[in-house]
C-alpha cells in the first residue's frame, strides 16, 4: 500500500514539510520523520456467534520513539487501514513532543464496524488482536489506549490478554482502563476537558468570554464531544448544534445535552430526538457560531466546504478534521484555529498520568489531575502562540514547529545508529 494514497497521511506529511521548511529543520531529521519506524499488519480471525469464522485486518504502527515508549489509541472503524494508522501515529509523535511528554507516537486499529458485532464477538476480536501485536507492545515499549470504536472495556480485555501471556498482571500495558483495574480518575473526560481549556485560552487571547452569549457547534457526539459540551454548558455557553452518524440536531436556544445523552443511551443515535430541528452534517458545518468543535473524524472541513464555515474559533477535537488547504484558507479569513495536536492532547496527557500512576502504584486525586492537565495545556498553548508570532504562521504550523524543536534536539543528541 502506498501511504501517500491516504489523504490524512498525505496531509500530515505536507504539514511536516511546511513547518520544517519554515523553522529550518535539519534535512536529515526531516528525512527520518517522514517514515514510520515500524509497522505491523496482522490478520485477526474470530468465530462469530453463528459459528462461522471471519477474518479482520489489524494494524499497529510506531512512528517515532526517540523520546520514549510509543503511545497511541486503538481504533475499531471501517475506514482503518495501514496508511491512516501511519498518519495518526505521526500526529501522535508530534502531539507528545508538543506537550512535553516522554513518549513517542504510535497508533493501532482494526478494519471493522464494531456496531455490527456482539459483545462476545468484540471481546474475541480484542483478545486475538492483543495476542497478534503483543510482541511490539508493553509498558516500556508501546502503550495503547482507547480511540474511535473502543473504550475502557476494550482496554480491560486487552490488558487481561497481555497479562495472561506474561503470566502476571501488567496494568501499564494500556491506558484508558476502568478505575477498578488501574485506570486514572479524569481519563474518560480528559480529551473533552482539554478541548474546553484550549477554547478558553483562545477566547481570552481574542478578548472573548465564554458565557450565555457564546454559540457552540460540535461535529460529533462521542467521548470527546459530550464532556466538552457539558463543560461549556457549565460555563453558560449554548450548544446550538451537535451531530452523529445519523445526522445533526439544532436548537438556537441551546440543546439540553443531558437529555440528548439519555436519548442516545436508549436509542443509540441522535436521530428522532424530540424538541430539536434535524439537519444534515453539511448544514451543521456551515452554521454561524462563535466556537466550532470538530470532534468526530478526520477530513470533515476540506477545500470543498471550507467556504461555508462561519465561526470565530475552531477547536480541533478530532485528529486532522481540517485539511491543510482549509487551515490556510480559514486562517487567512481570521478564524483562530486551535490545532489538533494541542487541542485534543488532554487524552494523551492524562493517559501519561495513568501510566505514571500505574508504574508507581500510587494514584492521584481528580483535582490534582485536572490542575496538572490545565497547567500543561496552558504552557503548551503559550509556546504555540509564541512560535506563531515569531515565524508569522498559523497555529497549526506553529504547533508543529514547537514539537519539531523538541524532536530535533532529542534525535541529534541520541544520534543515528549505527552512525
Distance (Å, whole) CA 186 – CA 38: 31
- Whether residue 403 is contained in a domain is answered as no
pLDDT at 289 over 90: yes
Distance (Å, whole) CA 206 – CA 225: 23
What was the pLDDT predicted at 2? 66
Full DSSP string of 42-78: EEEEEE-TTS-EEEEEEEEEEEE-SSSSEEEEEEEET
For residue 146, the surrounding DSSP H or E stretch is strand 142-146
Regarding whether 148 and 7 lie in a shared domain, the answer is yes
Strand ranges (E), 207-298: 215-219, 238-244, 247-250, 277-279, 291-294
Regarding whether 157 and 304 lie in a shared domain, the answer is no
Average pLDDT over residues 81-94: 92
Regarding whether 163 and 83 lie in a shared domain, the answer is yes
Regarding whether 212 and 133 lie in a shared domain, the answer is no
pLDDT at 135 over 90: yes
Where residue 164 falls among pLDDT bands split at 50, 70, 90?
Answer: very high
What was the pLDDT predicted at 277? 87
- Residues 217 and 293 sit within 8 Å (Cβ to Cβ): yes
- Whether residue 93 is contained in a domain is answered as yes
Has 107 been annotated as catalytic? yes
Range of weakest confidence among 38-42, 102-106, 315-319, 403-407: 315-319
Could you give phi then psi for residue 269, rounded to 5 degrees? -125, 160
- Give per-residue pLDDT as tens, 292-302: 999 988 788 99
- Whether residue 253 is contained in a domain is answered as yes
pLDDT at 324 over 90: no
Specify the CATH number for the domain of residue 22. Answer: 3.40.50.10860
Distance (Å, whole) CA 174 – CA 351: 9
Maximum CA extent, the chain? 66
What was the pLDDT predicted at 171? 92
The three grid cell numbers given for residue 285, joined into one nine-digit string: 458545518
What was the pLDDT predicted at 75? 96
Q: Is-cis flag, bond preceding 275, omega within 30? A: no
- Whether residue 137 is contained in a domain is answered as yes
What was the pLDDT predicted at 188? 87
Regarding whether 20 and 153 lie in a shared domain, the answer is yes
Regarding whether 25 and 158 lie in a shared domain, the answer is yes
Which residue range(s) make up the domain with 54? Answer: 3-168
Q: What percent of the chain has pLDDT over 90?
A: 78
Give whole-number Cα distances, 40 to 77, 125, 248, 325, in Å: 18, 17, 37, 31
- Whether residue 393 is contained in a domain is answered as no
Residue where a domain terminates, one of 338, 360, 388: 338
pLDDT at 271 over 90: no
Regarding whether 159 and 282 lie in a shared domain, the answer is no
Catalytic residue (choose from 107, 193, 223, 324) = 107
Where residue 95 falls among pLDDT bands split at 50, 70, 90?
Answer: very high
- Whether residue 50 is contained in a domain is answered as yes
Regarding whether 100 and 10 lie in a shared domain, the answer is yes
pLDDT at 270 over 90: no
pLDDT at 267 over 90: no
Full DSSP string of 272-329: T-TTSEEE-HHHHHT-B-SEEEE-S-S--B-TTTGGG-B-SEEE--SSS-B-HHHHHH
pTM reported for the whole predicted model? 0.90
Q: Return all residues near 3 (Cβ < 8 A) that are at least 6 apart.
A: 9, 82, 83, 86, 87
Averaged pLDDT of the chain: 93
Average pLDDT over residues 219-224: 90
Distance (Å, whole) CA 396 – CA 381: 11
What is the total count of domains within the chain? 2
Specify the CATH number for the domain of residue 293. Answer: 3.40.50.720
Query: What is the pairing mode between strands 291-294 and 142-146?
Result: unpaired
- Whether residue 274 is contained in a domain is answered as yes
Regarding whether 146 and 51 lie in a shared domain, the answer is yes
- Give per-residue pLDDT as tens, 54-66: 999 999 999 999 9
Distance (Å, whole) CA 285 – CA 140: 41
pLDDT at 97 over 70: yes
Of 3-7, 117-121, 244-248, 286-290, the range with the highest mean pLDDT is: 117-121
Q: Return all residues near 389 (Cβ < 8 A) that are at least 6 apart.
A: none
Distance (Å, whole) CA 159 – CA 161: 5
Which residues on neighbouring strands pair with residue 61, listed in sequence order?
39, 107
- Whether residue 410 is contained in a domain is answered as no
Regarding whether 130 and 8 lie in a shared domain, the answer is yes
Regarding whether 199 and 138 lie in a shared domain, the answer is no
Q: Return all residues near 409 (Cβ < 8 A) that are at least 6 apart.
A: none
> Exposure of 251 by Cβ count < 10 A (0-12 exposed, 13-18 middle, 19+ buried)?
middle
Regarding whether 158 and 223 lie in a shared domain, the answer is no
Residue where a domain terminates, one of 317, 338, 359: 338
Residue where a domain terminates, one of 303, 338, 373: 338
Amino acid at each position: 500500500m502506498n501511504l501517500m494514497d491516504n489523504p490524512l497521511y498525505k496531509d500530515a506529511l505536507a504539514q511536516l514539510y511546511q513547518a520544517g521548511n519554515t523553522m529550518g529543520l535539519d534535512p536529515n531529521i526531516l528525512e527520518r520523520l517522514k517514515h514510520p519506524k515500524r509497522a505491523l499488519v496482522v490478520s485477526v480471525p474470530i468465530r462469530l456467534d453463528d459459528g462461522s469464522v471471519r477474518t479482520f485486518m489489524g494494524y499497529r504502527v510506531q512512528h517515532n520513539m526517540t523520546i520514549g515508549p510509543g503511545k497511541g489509541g486503538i481504533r475499531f472503524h471501517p475506514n482503518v487501514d495501514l496508511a491512516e494508522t501511519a498518519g495518526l501515529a505521526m500526529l501522535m509523535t508530534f502531539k507528545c513532543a508538543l506537550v512535553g511528554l516522554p513518549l513517542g507516537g504510535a497508533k493501532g486499529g482494526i478494519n471493522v464496524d464494531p456496531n455490527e458485532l456482539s459483545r462476545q464477538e468484540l471481546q474475541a476480536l480484542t483478545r486475538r488482536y492483543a495476542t497478534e501485536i503483543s510482541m511490539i507492545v508493553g509498558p516500556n515499549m508501546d502503550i495503547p489506549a482507547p480511540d474511535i470504536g473502543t473504550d475502557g472495556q476494550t482496554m480491560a480485555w486487552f490488558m487481561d490478554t497481555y497479562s495472561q501471556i506474561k503470566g502476571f498482571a501488567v496494568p501499564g500495558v494500556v491506558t484508558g482502563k476502568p478505575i477498578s483495574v488501574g485506570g486514572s480518575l479524569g481519563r474518560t473526560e480528559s480529551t473533552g476537558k482539554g478541548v474546553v481549556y484550549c477554547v478558553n485560552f483562545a477566547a481570552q487571547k481574542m478578548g472573548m468570554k465564554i458565557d450565555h452569549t457564546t454559540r457552540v457547534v460540535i461535529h460529533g457526539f462521542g467521548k470527546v464531544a459530550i464532556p466538552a459540551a457539558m463543560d461549556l454548558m457549565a460555563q453558560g455557553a449554548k450548544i446550538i448544534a451537535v451531530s452523529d452518524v445519523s445526522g445533526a440536531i439544532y436548537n438556537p436556544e441551546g440543546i439540553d445535552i443531558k437529555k440528548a445523552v439519555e436519548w442516545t443511551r436508549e436509542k443509540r443515535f441522535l436521530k428522532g430526538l424530540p424538541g430539536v430541528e434535524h439537519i444534515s452534517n453539511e448544514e451543521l458545518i456551515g452554521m454561524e457560531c462563535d466556537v466550532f468543535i470538530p470532534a468526530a473524524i478526520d477530513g470533515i472541513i476540506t477545500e470543498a466546504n471550507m467556504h461555508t464555515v462561519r465561526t470565530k474559533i475552531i477547536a480541533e477535537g478530532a485528529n486532522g478534521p481540517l485539511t491543510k488547504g482549509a487551515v490556510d484558507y480559514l486562517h487567512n479569513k481570521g478564524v483562530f484555529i486551535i490545532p489538533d495536536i494541542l487541542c485534543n492532547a488532554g487524552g494523551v496527557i492524562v493517559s501519561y498520568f495513568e501510566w505514571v500512576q500505574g508504574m508507581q502504584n500510587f494514584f492521584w486525586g481528580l483535582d490534582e489531575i485536572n490542575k496538572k492537565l490545565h497547567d500543561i495545556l496552558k504552557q503548551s498553548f503559550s509556546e504555540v502562540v509564541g512560535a506563531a508570532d515569531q515565524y508569522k504562521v498559523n497555529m497549526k504550523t506553529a504547533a508543529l514547529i514547537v514539537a519539531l524543536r523538541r524532536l530535533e534536539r532529542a534525535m541529534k543528541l541520541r544520534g543515528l545508529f549505527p552512525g
